[in-house]
Amino acid sequence: MATKTTPNRQQTHLAVLIDADNAPAAIVEGLFEEIAKYGVASVKRIYGDWTQPQLGKWKQVLLDHSIQPIQQFAYTKGKNATDSALIIDAMDLLYTRRFDGFCLVSSDSDFTRLAARLREEGLMVYGFGESKTPDPFVRACDKFIYTEILRADPVTPAEPAETGQPQEPKAPAAKPKPQRVPLDFIAKVLDDIADDEEDWVQLGALGQNISKLRPAFDPRLYGFKKLSDLIKGHPKRFELQARGGSNSGGKDLYARNVRK
């Protein structure tokens, strides 16, 4: 008797392109953990001039994460040829039609048009950059994650002083302080998309609409692990309700503004 097999759920394939000049190596663990939430990193490439000492920390983690380094020399002093190499590769990968989305890891606004072009082809674009990332690049992405919340800076031994005496180890970088929650913005989105008499909105739909309007919105920026925690943490503004799910047997979460 033949054994019935269950087909695997179709995976989302992503191309991860990293601008080594504008991304710290300290994010690498958190970066790929975050990317795994959205799909499979089928291609992982990082661009830079690997003859330069400032990329030394990236060299230490490339093998551990199977990231392919792409060498790009600076043709002219003071000009960055890395961006062009990354953009050309992105377009080559786009036309293979093998990917569902791209992860662009950089704080450089030069990739704004690339993000927009990829989205024109119907692909998801996830941006990763520091809080200094210019707003046009942030808004050109479907979703943008600030890398400060992904950093993992372990305590590392300091270099010995000239006297030969060891110095104190370097402390890890401090996590950014939580930002102020945009309560009025969330409340307006809830009002805009509420479609029943009771004004309840499914939490997943709320998150999707918030991301469309503000790609960089992330509950972790405000000190909350998930959107449900953020809503629950402001009982004077929002209500959260769990309802029985239709298929999985779990609970679906709904939110609404507190009625006055």
Counting Cα atoms < 13 Å in the Cβ hemisphere of 141 gives 28
Task: Please indicate, yes or no, if residue 164 is contained in any of the structural domains.
Answer: no
Report the C-alpha gap between 237 and 182 in whole angstroms: 11
Q: Spell out the alpha helix ranges (H) of the chain.
A: 28-35, 56-59, 82-94, 112-120, 135-140, 183-193, 203-213, 227-232
Exposed, middle or buried by CB within 10 Å (0-12, 13-18, 19+), for 14? buried
One domain, residues 141 and 17? yes
Report the C-alpha gap between 209 and 21 in whole angstroms: 33
One domain, residues 70 and 120? yes
**pLDDT for 113:** 97
Number of domain units in the chain: 2
One domain, residues 246 and 138? no
CATH number, domain containing residue 110: 3.40.50.1010
Which of these three, 149, 170, 193, is where a domain ends?
149
One domain, residues 192 and 122? no
pLDDT digits (tens, 9 = 90+) for 28-69: 999 999 999 999 999 999 999 998 898 999 999 999 999 999
**Residue 88 pLDDT > 90, yes or no?**
yes
Task: Please indicate, yes or no, if residue 133 is contained in any of the structural domains.
Answer: yes
One domain, residues 73 and 135? yes
One domain, residues 94 and 41? yes
| Cβ atoms of 11 and 35 closer than 8 Å | no
Domain that holds residue 117: 13-149
**pLDDT for 247:** 57
Q: What would the mean pLDDT of 232-241 be, rounded to a whole number? A: 94
More reliable by pLDDT, 195 or 158: 195
**pLDDT for 70:** 95
CATH number, domain containing residue 208: 3.30.420.610
Confidence of residue 178 (pLDDT cuts 50, 70, 90): confident
At position 197, the amino acid (one-letter code) is E
Largest CA distance in the chain: 77
**pLDDT for 163:** 45
One domain, residues 118 and 207? no
One domain, residues 213 and 105? no
One domain, residues 121 and 205? no
One domain, residues 215 and 140? no
Average pLDDT, the chain: 86
More reliable by pLDDT, 5 or 21: 21
Confidence of residue 246 (pLDDT cuts 50, 70, 90): low
Confidence of residue 77 (pLDDT cuts 50, 70, 90): low
**Residue 142 pLDDT > 70, yes or no?**
yes
More reliable by pLDDT, 250 or 136: 136
| Cβ atoms of 176 and 148 closer than 8 Å | yes
**Residue 87 pLDDT > 60, yes or no?**
yes
**pLDDT for 18:** 97
Task: Please indicate, yes or no, if residue 174 is contained in any of the structural domains.
Answer: no
Q: What would the mean pLDDT of 92-120 be, rounded to a whole number? A: 96
**pLDDT for 249:** 59
| Cβ atoms of 133 and 105 closer than 8 Å | no
Confidence of residue 134 (pLDDT cuts 50, 70, 90): very high
| Cβ atoms of 156 and 169 closer than 8 Å | yes
One domain, residues 213 and 144? no
What tokens does 183 get? 């309560």
